[in-house]
């Protein structure tokens, strides 16, 4: 592509009029170097002054005191990745030209010299103009490439045309390796061989994964060469990397472009990024259509939650997606209604979009997801094919990832109050898990938000909530704590708080006094008063259990004891 790339090759730079009187020593490989910028340097120590790719201009004025200074300077430029060196020959530079020529030939490094005085300001102005113009042309080509990708997307033919365009533009073989699903490649590769490549790539990816999934990675299959064997870019959508786009740096046998005018690495990288973005759009569109199809099946899921399907019907429905799920467990997560989402249709549309993320998050932990909206509340059905008890830690990790993803979203569906039901081995009884999730949600509205709102974490609150629903809770509290509550109200006492702490510390008087910041004599006095009010049998196991439950019930109704 010549000057249509982001940078200009040395061979093209040297054709410009400003180098007409220059003498050049450059191998074929040296002429392929790309010039990123032009820089005048008169220092002897390069240090960190260069970023790489600069054509350095110098008069060598600082070399006069050391005959080997020019050679040292040139070695530093090579180490920093400079594109080449241009010097003006004078008495102090001409004597060093011989050794510098030998080094230039050895390192395939362009060396340019002028036999007469030149205006470096004219050279920098000319070359900077050429670089800027080259950059503008490259941007125009990339914009045109992006338009072509978008046009191919509108055809609805999938990713294969996108890969063909990327391969034709860069002149390199291209492959797409999804984490799930079939791989694609240009040029064509038989499915069996492509699957072998895909497994090899995923293995290589797993071994070399450093946790950084952003940006282009340079991959080298062996360490004998100086340049990478491939460029790879994770294809991401909604913060989820679902595939790797790999461009192998082996020229296609039928690629007819002049090697001298091949596209630069920077152009290839940006073309790779634009292709990955187009693939991500195609993936998003496909996933959105899948979610819309699932939405049409919504009534089946609602009937499932209402217990209207037989075990056989559920087995057949779930097995159609994954046979292992039919023998797994089910858990319902219920998200409370949000005042801003009273429109069920709007909520369903938002859920379709958000489910694309949720489904990928849960699948990474081995779960399958079904979802619906009922009474403006979002219901997630999580199926776990693994045997054993509920995988609470894995389930909670998924929820945290959903909430983290929503932090920068305008609409938050999974970040409010919610409850997690118990695990059901019988999928026909999933309604029980829904009821447990409702209880968890309802109880939190009385006691406050739980750190991890699993139904199994409610413990005694399940009994208390049931007593509240039956209307017997107040009578129970009165029966076991009434005298103590009235005493504290009349006398401003601390008997109830003391009793709670005493039971928490297994009736240890010393530890209780320390926890309450009182002397032991004061504690003895309070305990004696409690015994008078509740009876001397209040510490007997069977009565103590009832009193402790009554204390939690009191806090359930009135809030935590101060």
Q: What share of the chain has pLDDT > 70, as a percent?
A: 87
Given a contact cutoff of 8 angstroms between Cβ atoms, the answer to whether 426 and 311 are in contact is yes
Per-residue pLDDT at 524 exceeds 90: yes
460 contacts 552 by C-beta, under 8 angstroms: yes
Alpha helices in 343-429 (DSSP H): 344-364, 392-405
Q: Where are the alpha helices (DSSP H) in 297-391?
A: 298-305, 311-319, 344-364
Task: Confirm if 530 and 484 have CB atoms less than 8 A apart.
Answer: yes
Cα(408)–Cα(232) distance, integer angstroms: 28
| Alpha-carbon separation of residue 461 from 80, 481, 555 (angstroms) | 68, 17, 10
Supply 168's token pair. Answer: 């034709």
Please, which pLDDT band fits residue 431 given cuts at 50, 70 and 90? very high
Contact assessment for residue 471 and residue 503, using Cβ atoms and an 8 Å cutoff: no
- The values of phi and psi at residue 36, to 5°, are -90, -30
Closest CA to 235 of 289, 169, 163, 170: 163
Residues 6+ apart with CB under 8 A from 83: 10, 33, 34, 35, 36, 53, 54, 55, 110
DSSP strand pairing (240-248 vs 230-237): antiparallel
- Residue 78 backbone class (left: φ over 0; alpha: ψ -120 to 50; beta: rest): alpha
User: Is the pLDDT confidence value at 6 over 50?
Assistant: no
DSSP tag of 260? G
pTM of structure: 0.53
Instruction: With beta carbons less than 8 A apart as the criterion, state whether 305 and 332 touch.
Output: yes
The C-alpha atoms of residue 315 and residue 305 are separated, in whole angstroms, by 14
Residue that has been written with the tokens 């389930």 in this structure: 395
Mean pLDDT within 446-475: 92
pLDDT at 302 over 80: yes
Rg over CA atoms, the chain: 37
pLDDT band at residue 554, thresholds of 50, 70 and 90?
very high
Cα separation, 47 vs 50, whole angstroms: 8
Quick one: which of 220, 157, 152, 163 has its CA closest to 187? 163
- pLDDT of 1 reads 36
Residue position matching structure tokens 């249709």: 345
For residue 224, whether the previous peptide bond is cis, meaning omega lies within 30 degrees of 0, is no
Give dist(CA 282, CA 560) in Å, integer.
53
**How does pLDDT run across 355-392, given as a tens digit for each residue?**
878 888 898 899 999 888 888 888 999 999 988 888 99
d(CA 345, CA 483): 54
Indicate the range of 285-294, 305-314, 355-364 predicted with least confidence: 285-294
Mean pLDDT of 422-442: 93
Q: Rounded mean pLDDT of 481-489?
A: 95
What Cα–Cα distance (Å) separates residue 223 from each residue in 81, 108, 201, 217? Answer: 20, 20, 17, 16
* Phi and psi at residue 324, to the nearest 5°: -70, -25
Report the side by side order of strands in the sheet with 377-384: 368-374, 377-384, 329-335, 418-420
Lookup: tokens for 380: 């997630």
Q: How many CA atoms lie within 13 A of 401 on its CB side?
A: 20
Distance from chain centroid for Cα 215: 13
Q: Is 78 exposed, middle or buried (0-12, 13-18, 19+ CB in 10 A)?
A: middle
Q: What is the pLDDT of residue 220?
A: 55
What was the pLDDT predicted at 71? Answer: 84
pLDDT computed for residue 340 by the predictor: 66
Q: pLDDT band for 293, please (50, 70, 90 cuts).
A: low
Q: What is the 3-state secondary structure (H, E, C) of 269-304?
A: HHHHHHHHHHHHHHHHHHHHHHHHHHHHCHHHHHHH
Question: 366: alpha, beta or left, given left = phi > 0 and alpha = psi -120 to 50?
Answer: left
Question: What is the pLDDT at residue 217?
Answer: 64
Instruction: Quick: pLDDT tens for 137-161.
Output: 878 888 888 888 888 888 877 888 8
pLDDT for 414 beyond 90: no
Higher pLDDT, 208 or 56: 56
| Residues in CB range of 222: below 8 A, 6 or more apart | 229
β-sheet bridge partners, residue 531: none
Taking all residues of the chain, what is their mean pLDDT, rounded to a whole number? 83
Could you read off the pLDDT of 236-250 as tens digits, one per residue? 876 667 788 888 877
DSSP at 26: -
* Residues 300, 347: Cα–Cα separation, whole Å: 18
Sequence-ordered list of residues with C-beta below 8 angstroms from that of 433, at least 6 positions apart, any chain:
330, 331, 332, 421, 422, 423, 424
Cα first-last separation, the chain: 77
Q: Report the alpha-carbon distance of residue 284 to residue 288 in Å, rounded.
A: 6
């Amino acid at each position: 592509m010549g000057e249509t790339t982001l940078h200009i090759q040395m061979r093209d730079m040297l054709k410009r009029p400003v180098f007409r009187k220059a003498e050049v020593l450059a191998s074929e490989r040296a002429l392929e170097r790309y010039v990123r910028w032009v820089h005048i340097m008169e220092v002897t120590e390069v240090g960190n002054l260069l970023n790489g790719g600069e054509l350095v201009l110098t008069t060598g004025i600082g070399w006069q005191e050391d005959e080997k200074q020019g050679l040292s300077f040139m070695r530093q430029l090579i180490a920093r990745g400079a594109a080449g060196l241009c010097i003006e020959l004078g008495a102090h530079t001409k004597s060093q030209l011989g050794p510098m020529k030998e080094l230039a030939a050895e390192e395939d490094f362009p060396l340019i010299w002028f036999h007469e005085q030149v205006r470096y300001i004219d050279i920098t102005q000319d070359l900077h103009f050429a670089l800027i113009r080259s950059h503008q042309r490259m941007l125009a080509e990339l914009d045109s490439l992006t338009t072509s990708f978008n046009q191919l997307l509108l055809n609805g033919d999938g990713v294969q045309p996108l890969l063909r365009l990327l391969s034709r533009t860069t002149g390199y073989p291209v492959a797409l390796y999804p984490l799930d699903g079939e791989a694609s490649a240009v040029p064509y590769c038989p499915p069996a061989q492509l699957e072998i490549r895909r497994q090899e790539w995923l293995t290589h990816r797993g071994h070399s994964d450093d946790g950084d999934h952003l940006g282009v990675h340079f991959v080298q299959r062996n360490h004998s060469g100086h340049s990478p064997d491939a460029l790879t870019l994770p294809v991401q959508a909604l913060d989820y990397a679902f595939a790797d786009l790999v461009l192998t740096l082996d020229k296609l046998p039928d690629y007819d472009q002049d090697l001298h005018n091949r596209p630069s690495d920077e152009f290839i990288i940006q073309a790779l990024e634009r292709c990955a973005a187009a693939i991500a759009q195609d993936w998003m569109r496909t996933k959105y259509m899948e979610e819309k199809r699932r939405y049409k099946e919504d009534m089946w899921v609602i009937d499932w939650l209402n217990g209207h399907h037989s075990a056989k019907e559920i087995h057949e429905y779930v097995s159609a997606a994954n046979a292992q799920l039919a023998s797994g467990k089910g858990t319902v997560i219920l998200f409370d209604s949000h005042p801003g989402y009273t429109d069920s249709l709007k909520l369903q549309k938002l859920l379709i979009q958000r489910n694309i993320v949720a489904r990928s998050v849960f699948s990474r932990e081995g779960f399958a997801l079904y979802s619906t909206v009922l009474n403006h509340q979002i219901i997630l059905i999580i199926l776990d094919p693994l045997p054993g008890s509920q995988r609470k830690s894995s389930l909670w990790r998924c929820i945290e990832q959903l909430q983290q993803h929503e932090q920068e979203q305008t609409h938050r569906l999974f970040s409010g109050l919610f409850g997690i039901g118990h695990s059901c081995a019988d999928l026909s009884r999933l309604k029980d898990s829904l009821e447990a999730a409702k209880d968890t949600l309802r109880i939190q509205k009385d006691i406050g938000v739980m750190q991890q709102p699993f139904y199994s974490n409610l413990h005694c609150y399940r009994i208390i909530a049931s007593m509240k629903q039956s209307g017997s809770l107040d009578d129970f509290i009165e029966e076991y704590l009434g005298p103590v509550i009235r005493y504290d109200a009349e006398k401003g006492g601390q008997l109830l708080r003391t009793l709670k702490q005493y039971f928490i510390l297994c009736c240890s008087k010393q530890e209780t006094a320390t926890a309450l910041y009182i002397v032991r004599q004061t504690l003895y006095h309070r305990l004696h008063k409690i015994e008078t009010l509740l009876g001397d049998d209040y510490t007997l196991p069977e009565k103590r259990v009832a009193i402790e439950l009554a204390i939690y019930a009191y806090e359930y109704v009135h809030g935590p004891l101060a």
